A and B are shown apart, each in its own frame.
Chain A
Amino acid sequence: MAYANKVVGIDAAMRRVASGMRLMIGEFVGAGEPAKCIEWLLASRVGELTVIANTPGMRGGFLKARLFEQGQIAEFIGTHIGTTGESTESYLAGKVRVAEFFPMGTWAEKVRAGAMGLGGVLVPVGVGILDQPGLFPALAAAKPKVSLDGREYFVEAALEADVAIIKGWRADTFGNVEFRNTGRQNQRDLAMAGRYTIVEVNEIVPVGSIEPSRVDCPGVFVDAVVQGYSLAEQNDLYRQHWVKLGRLAPAA
């Protein structure tokens, strides 16, 4: 069979994650998080992780944010550390290292460069601002720049990871993934930038079920497919948290 069956249990897939690894996790302020894989990480207590994610997640003790609370993250590479109380505390206490903050577009392009086999990208955003001496004292050297046609750009190196964990709506058993709505984010780029890529989905379907032009992340980029919460369960999880945070009015 040309199309290998990549469906495995959460434990079999997640055993690839060891302490000290570089881990990419799909999300946007907590939306689109691979919930069951994160629950596995929380239970496993693997530590010293370098987490590459857009933000720390959603406040109020939601999923990924608790990795900060449990002290499992040694370094965070993203755009923001203040979206959750857990990450803020951990950062201000000096427990999680953030060498520098990236503008979101820069971070996304660094991941995309890692995904596409590029060494890096040239980014004009923040030149004259983020290169101010002393702004990021943890950086070993000044941020490298080049000049092209009279404009200055930062040379931003590609980001890759030992393991990438992404969240899709549904996948076939080979790992062809379809996303829903704004759950798309940069999940496909993260999948391509990981050396071992796990996709958690709401639904697993037979090969051939997803129309080829609707495949958002080809299975060629995926190593393991795991069953997450159903869409109904996932909706409940987010709705309950949103009601708790006052982001959604409870139905009368």
Chain B
Amino acid sequence: MLQLNPKEIIARRCARELACGQVVNLGLGIPTLTANYLSEGAGVIFHSENGVFGFGGRPSEFNADSDLTNAGCEPITLKPGAAIMDLATSLGAMRKGYIDVTILGALEVDAAGNLANWATRRDGRWWPGIGGAMDLCHGTPTVIAALLHTDKHGRSKIRQRCELPLTGSGCVKVIVTERALFDVRPHGLVLRELFPGLSVADVKAVTEAEFRVSPGLSEMKLGIDLGIAPVVPL
């Protein structure tokens, strides 16, 4: 049986939500891993908020250019057709809706499609800060939240209502965890996919938010054979 770690499951599933020609911004953390599961010919145009459309993978040490970085200050390369712009233009593109899809990590998401990822309480202060995430949530038509289903205490991160300061309100369209995939609909969450081997009851047990089950509920589409039989017929 093939073993996948939870972050890899999430990244693999997110990759399958992207289509050729889309302009995509990947947030830091799990979302960045998504690029590892896209084929060379996937045709996705990656945007980075420091000012580039069309970047590619990492260079080798002596090809790394100190003036060619992504939003996390990691060295990148450019693909043919790439374009560089200034910061105000790049953030304007995000605010105005020129980015088709963004995949963002989250501390909490909720049944109304709210997303919280910029602040936790530390020593009485909100930390660490906003960066470009709020501009992305504001303007991007498709926001995908990519997160572990529960926190380190086993508490559901899929909440009925977020408690932390929000990054975006009502912006999330799809939630991808290592256990399930939900669509955010006007009336609440709809469970669309389950990780192979899990039942609806298993997911209900670790999900604070209420959700309905899609009539078309299926096994999570990961693009690989895990060698696991579902426990319940889907």
Mark out the residues of chain A between 165 and 217 whose CB falls within 8 Å of any chain B CB in the assembled complex. 169, 179-186, 188-189
Interface size class of A (residues with CB under 8 A): 35 or more
Note all chain B residues with C-beta closer than 8 A to A109.
88, 91
B19 is an interface residue with CB less than 8 A from chain A? no
CA distance A212 to B225 in the complex (A): 58
A135 touches B165 (CB 8 A): yes
Instruction: Please determine whether B128 and A248 come into contact, CB atoms closer than 8 angstroms.
Output: no
Please provide the chain A residues from 69 to 90 with a CB less than 8 Å away from any CB of chain B in the complex: 78-83, 88
Bound Cα distance A58, B88 (Å) = 21
Q: Please tell me if the beta carbons of A182 and B51 are within 8 angstroms of each other in the complex.
A: yes
A28-B73, A104-B132, A235-B66 known; A184 vs B88 contact (CB < 8 Å):
no
> Separation in Å of the A53 CB from the closest CB of chain B?
12
- Which of A30, A93, A186 lies in contact with B86, CB distance below 8 A? A186
Cβ-defined contact, B66 with A31, below 8 A:
yes
- Tell yes or no: A43 within 8 A of B by CB: no
Please give the number of chain B residues whose Cβ is less than 8 angstroms from any Cβ of chain A in the complex: 51
Assembled-state Cα–Cα distance A250/B52 (Å): 25
- Option from B61, B92, B125 in Cβ contact (under 8 Å) with A91: B125
Chain A residues lying within 8 Å of B61, measured Cβ to Cβ, are 239, 243, 248-251
Closest to A83 in B: B128
**CB < 8 Å: which of B69, B127, B132 contacts A88?**
B127
- Docked-complex contact A32 and B94, CB < 8 angstroms: no
Q: In the complex, what's the smallest C-beta–C-beta distance from B9 to chain A, in angstroms?
A: 23
Whether the Cβ atoms of A247 and B84 lie closer than 8 Å is no
Contact call B134/A126, Cβ cutoff below 8 A: yes
CA distance A140 to B86 in the complex (A): 32
Q: In the bound complex, do residue A124 and residue B131 qualify as a contact, i.e. CB atoms below 8 Å apart? A: no
- Indicate if B95 sits at the interface (CB-CB under 8 A): yes
B148-159 vs A, Cβ < 8 Å mask (1 yes, 0 no): 000000000000
Tell me which residues from 227 to 252 in chain A have a Cβ below 8 Å from any Cβ of chain B: 231, 234-235, 237-239, 242-243, 247-251
Given A78-B129, A104-B49, A105-B92, the answer on whether A125 and B87 have CB atoms closer than 8 Å is: no
Tell me if B87 and A54 are in contact (CB < 8 A): yes
Contact A239 B135 (CB under 8 A): no
A17 located at the interface, meaning its Cβ lies under 8 Å from any Cβ of chain B in the complex: no
Within the complex, the shortest CB–CB distance from B149 to chain A, in Å, comes to 24
CB closest chain-A residue, reference B133: A103
CB contacts under 8 Å to B, within A107-130, are 108-109, 112, 124-126, 128-129
Task: Name the contact of A239 in the complex, choosing from B66, B71, B78 (C-beta under 8 A).
Answer: B66
Q: Please, which residues of chain A bring their CB within 8 A of the CB of B138?
A: 103, 124-126
Please, which residues of chain A bring their CB within 8 A of the CB of B64? 235, 238-239, 242, 248
Q: Which 7 A-B pairs have the closest CB atoms?
A: A82-B128, A80-B129, A105-B91, A238-B66, A186-B87, A103-B134, A29-B73
Which chain A residues have a beta carbon within 8 Å of chain B's beta carbons? 28-32, 54-55, 58, 78-83, 88, 91-93, 101-106, 108-109, 112, 124-126, 128-129, 132, 135, 169, 179-186, 188-189, 231, 234-235, 237-239, 242-243, 247-251
